[in-house]
Amino acid sequence: MSFLALLKRYLGPVLIVAGGFLLAIAIIATGPRPDRQARPPDAPSVLTIPALKGPGELSVRAHGTVVPKTESNLVAEVAGRIVAVSPSMVSGGFFSRGDVLLEIERIDYEAALEQARAALASAESELANAEITFDRAEELAATQAVSQADLDKALNQLNLSRAGQRQATAALAQAERDLERTRVTAPYDGRVRSERVDTGQFVSRGESIATLYSTDYAEVRLPVKDQDLAYLPFTLARTDSPAAAKTKAILRAEFAGGSYAWEADVVRTEGELDPLSRVVNVIAQVADPYEPADGAPPLMVGLFVEADIIGNTVEDVIMVPSAALQTGNRIYVVDNGNRLSFRDAEVVFLNAEIAYVRVDVADGEQICVTALDDAVEGQSVRPTPAPADSAVPG
């Protein structure tokens, strides 16, 4: 078949298809176009809590490390070889007041005590003889049987004998104390932080042998910013009744695989404001830290704790999460139409978790606790009640 015949055979269908395609394009290009409408923005989802006015208890948060109230450096008061050491005399060992912690060899001090007793007996004998001699000299002097010089000599001997008797009495008391000090006893109920002695070791008078601390109280130094002192119910001024300035603190810590809390008394503040950090150290005290209640572990020395110091009570406030305080110290209220209404708030207290505010809202109105950027008054939202355990921190 020739080329011309092939062209005539296939050209017709191709032209028909091409024509149909061009016609479809022309219809689409000249047909009516639907009006474009802007998509309405999605209403953001927010969490809400009901407004509830009432009194609010302020608290100031601080952190510190547990330390003992009393700590002592135990020293030897006499020299000698150690012959016995208590099983409690180890690092971490507990002891009670009056317990014998170690004993120093007593032989030399027992001998010194006997010598002191003998010296006192001799001095008392000399004093008795001097008193008799003086009394006789006075009788003879009354009849002028002896001279005034002999009487003065008898009086001088009496005074020397009295002084010797007092010296011997003091030496005996010193010997008794030295013998008693060969037994080193605990000054209070406590625990051994560290010890540096063992049986057979020789110690000198004044040598440090252990470091002890008491277990009657534990203390925590809590640094509080100077501006936060306004929320606490005590003053830095001198008062006649220190007990009147006490308040409570709740100590919390992660320990032994769990979260625990201990109640403490704030008993005093330290004597100065740090000029660099502008903080005052508040001292919180826990009684019997090694005998806790409610299954809590001991409040051990060295434990790092977080403390909430209980402060003043303020009236007619609403407590909300800090996130509910929007830009410009505003509170967003969600009305019945699920729209935002802006209310100016007076911030009474604010920390990282909660805020106490005074604001013109009625009890039961829904407060938005979700932080919103670029929100406008009247904006629609999709409110959801916040979980009861997370709406406001406890």
Instruction: Select the more confidently predicted residue: 33 or 277.
Output: 277
- What is the pTM assigned to this prediction? 0.72
Confidence at residue 374, expressed as pLDDT on a 0 to 100 scale: 83
Please provide residue 366's backbone torsions phi and psi, each rounded to the nearest 5 degrees: -90, 120
108-111 CB contacts, 8 Å cutoff, 24+ apart:
108/80, 109/78, 109/80, 109/175, 109/178, 109/179, 109/182, 110/179
Q: Measured between alpha carbons, how far is 389 from 394 in angstroms, rounded to an integer?
A: 8
Query: Using 50, 70 and 90 to split pLDDT, how confident is the model at 20?
Result: low
Q: How many separate domains does the chain show?
A: 3
Which of 312, 340, 363 terminates a domain? The answer is 312
Q: Measured between alpha carbons, how far is 125 from 133 in angstroms, rounded to an integer?
A: 12
Same-domain check for residues 154 and 224: no
Q: Which two tokens stand for residue 225?
A: 């910013």
Is 279 part of a structural domain of the chain? yes
CB crowding 230-243: b at 16 or more within 10 Å, else e: ebbebeeeeeeeee
Same-domain check for residues 256 and 131: no
Same-domain check for residues 183 and 220: no
311-314-320-326 Cα dihedral, nearest 10 degrees: -100
If you compute the radius of gyration of the chain from its CA atoms, what whole number of angstroms results? 46
CATH code at 339? 2.40.420.20
Is 110 part of a structural domain of the chain? yes
Whether 294 has a pLDDT exceeding 80, the answer reads no
Can you spell out the DSSP letters for 150-215? HHHHHHHHHHHHHHHHHHHHHHHHHHHHHHHTTEEE-SSSEEEEEE---TT-EE-TT-EEEEEEES
Determine the structural domain holding residue 333 and report its residue range.
46-57+314-385
Same-domain check for residues 181 and 273: no
Confidence at residue 148, expressed as pLDDT on a 0 to 100 scale: 81
Q: Measured between alpha carbons, how far is 57 from 319 in angstroms, rounded to an integer?
A: 10
Instruction: Select the more confidently predicted residue: 258 or 146.
Output: 258
Is 377 part of a structural domain of the chain? yes
Same-domain check for residues 251 and 196: no
pLDDT digits (tens, 9 = 90+) for 259-270: 899 999 998 888
Which of 183, 212, 241 terminates a domain? The answer is 212
Is 13 part of a structural domain of the chain? no
Instruction: Select the more confidently predicted residue: 208 or 139.
Output: 208
Instruction: Select the more confidently predicted residue: 218 or 255.
Output: 218
CATH code at 207? 1.10.287.470
CATH code at 221? 2.40.30.170
The stretches of the chain forming alpha helices (DSSP H) are: 3-30, 107-142, 148-180
Of the chain, the end-to-end C-alpha distance in Å amounts to 97
Is 103 part of a structural domain of the chain? yes
pLDDT digits (tens, 9 = 90+) for 53-102: 999 888 899 999 999 999 999 999 999 999 999 999 999 999 999 999 99
Same-domain check for residues 85 and 208: yes
**Is residue 85 within 8 Å of residue 198, measured between CB atoms?**
yes
Same-domain check for residues 208 and 241: no
Is 36 part of a structural domain of the chain? no
Task: Give the mean model confidence (pLDDT) for residues 340-353.
Answer: 89
Same-domain check for residues 181 and 305: no
pLDDT digits (tens, 9 = 90+) for 154-176: 889 989 999 999 999 999 999 99
Which of 212, 230, 248 terminates a domain? The answer is 212
Same-domain check for residues 181 and 199: yes
Whether 234 has a pLDDT exceeding 80, the answer reads no
Same-domain check for residues 159 and 204: yes
Same-domain check for residues 306 and 324: no
How much of the chain exceeds pLDDT 90, in percent? 53
Is 185 part of a structural domain of the chain? yes
Same-domain check for residues 288 and 363: no
Is 194 part of a structural domain of the chain? yes
CB crowding 79-117: b at 16 or more within 10 Å, else e: bbebeebbebbeeebebeeeeebbbbbbebbeebbeebe
- Burial degree of 361 (CB within 10 A; 0-12, 13-18, 19+): buried
